[in-house]
């Protein structure tokens, strides 16, 4: 049986959130931007209405609050439970913000799905990192949303938005957390369900974060074998195939890496 929260408990959680916003001198709009959600979502949260677990988690991370403590007071009040982000299906007819490309849900329907994601390991010679990226339509903030899973370094998995300019053959997968940005620039989805390009990000080396860039490929597929994900070393059954796909990103002209 689903537990319903005590309204008093939720009021206490709201008080903690509002206090943290005051201490950090953050407006609702600034909190929405930092937590990567729509302003209306923050209004719903501050109004005591149900929001997704991921939204509550992102808000807690931005405000420096204990997510487990806040979540324990935020159980759904009604049958409309907070859903995990990848359960969202979305509806047609909605339009992404102009700064994201003003694309409609119907116009980008082909991007919704699951992708095998490949890139070289940043500092492990000849090792290829393979993981899963899911792309869905987020009706709360009309736009395509991506989320990574199955990464060997799960702590650094990213979640963000797709920016699709109308006049370009390339699209952007951007994640922004507390001012830190990671951008992936890839070709639009081809008839084989593949996107190729470059990733630019930071990689932790010892006590330092080092800027890195390398080829990346997204290949649409429905089934994922656990043995085909993770750090793929030479000798692995998939290594040669993954290496060929990554090499083609450069040799076939999808991206260019300039060393000097």
- The residue that leads in pLDDT, 133 or 33, is 133
Which domain range does residue 202 map to?
Answer: 98-251
Q: Is residue 88 part of a domain?
A: no
Give the pLDDT score at 103. Answer: 94
Residues 77-121 pLDDT 10s? 433 333 344 433 444 447 888 889 999 998 999 999 999 999 999
Statement to judge: residues 73 and 167 lie in one domain: no
Mean pLDDT rounded to a whole number for the chain: 85
How many separate domains does the chain show?
2
- pLDDT confidence of residue 1: 41
* Mean pLDDT computed over 22-51: 84
Distance CA 256, CA 148 (A): 25
Of all residues in the chain, what percent are helix, strand and coil, respectively (each to 5)? 30, 30, 40
- Are residue 79 and residue 203 in the same domain, yes or no? no
CATH number of the structural domain spanning residue 170: 2.40.128
pLDDT tens string 150-208: 998 888 888 899 999 988 999 999 998 767 789 999 999 999 999 999 999 988 777 78
Q: Which pLDDT belongs to residue 6?
A: 55
Instruction: Indicate whether 133 and 54 sit together in one domain.
Output: no
pLDDT, position 141: 82
% of the chain residues with pLDDT over 70: 89
* 258 belongs to a structural domain: no
Q: What are the C-alpha distances in Å from 239 to residues 230, 234, 244?
A: 11, 6, 9
Instruction: Report the C-alpha gap between 219 and 194 in whole angstroms.
Output: 5
Let me know whether 222 and 155 are in one domain.
Answer: yes
The answer to whether residues 132 and 52 belong to one domain is no
- Let me know: does 196 contact 181? Beta carbons within 8 Å: no
Instruction: Give pLDDT, residue 134.
Output: 95
């Amino acid at each position: 049986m689903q537990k319903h929260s005590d309204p008093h408990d939720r009021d206490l959680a709201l008080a903690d959130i509002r206090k943290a916003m005051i201490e950090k001198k953050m407006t609702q709009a600034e909190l929405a931007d930092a937590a990567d959600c729509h302003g209306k979502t923050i209004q719903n949260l501050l109004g005591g209405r149900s929001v997704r677990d991921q939204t509550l988690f992102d808000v807690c991370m931005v405000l420096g609050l204990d997510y487990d403590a806040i979540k324990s007071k935020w159980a759904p009040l009604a049958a409309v439970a907070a859903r995990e982000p990848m359960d969202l299906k979305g509806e047609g007819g909605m339009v992404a913000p102009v700064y994201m490309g003003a694309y409609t849900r119907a116009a980008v329907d082909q991007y919704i799905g699951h992708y095998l994601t490949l890139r070289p390991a940043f500092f492990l010679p000849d090792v290829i990192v393979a993981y899963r990226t899911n792309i869905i339509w987020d009706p709360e903030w009309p736009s395509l949303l991506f989320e990574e899973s199955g990464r060997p370094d799960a702590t650094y998995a990213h979640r963000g938005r797709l920016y699709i300019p109308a006049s370009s053959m390339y699209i952007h997968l951007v994640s922004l957390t507390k001012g830190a940005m990671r951008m992936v620039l890839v070709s639009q989805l081809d008839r084989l369900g593949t996107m190729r390009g470059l990733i630019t990000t930071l990689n932790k080396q010892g006590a330092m974060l080092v800027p890195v860039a390398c080829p990346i490929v997204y290949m649409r597929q429905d089934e994922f074998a656990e043995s085909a994900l993770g750090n793929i070393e030479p000798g692995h059954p998939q290594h040669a195939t993954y290496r060929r796909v990554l090499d083609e990103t450069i040799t076939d002209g999808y991206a260019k890496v300039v060393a000097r």
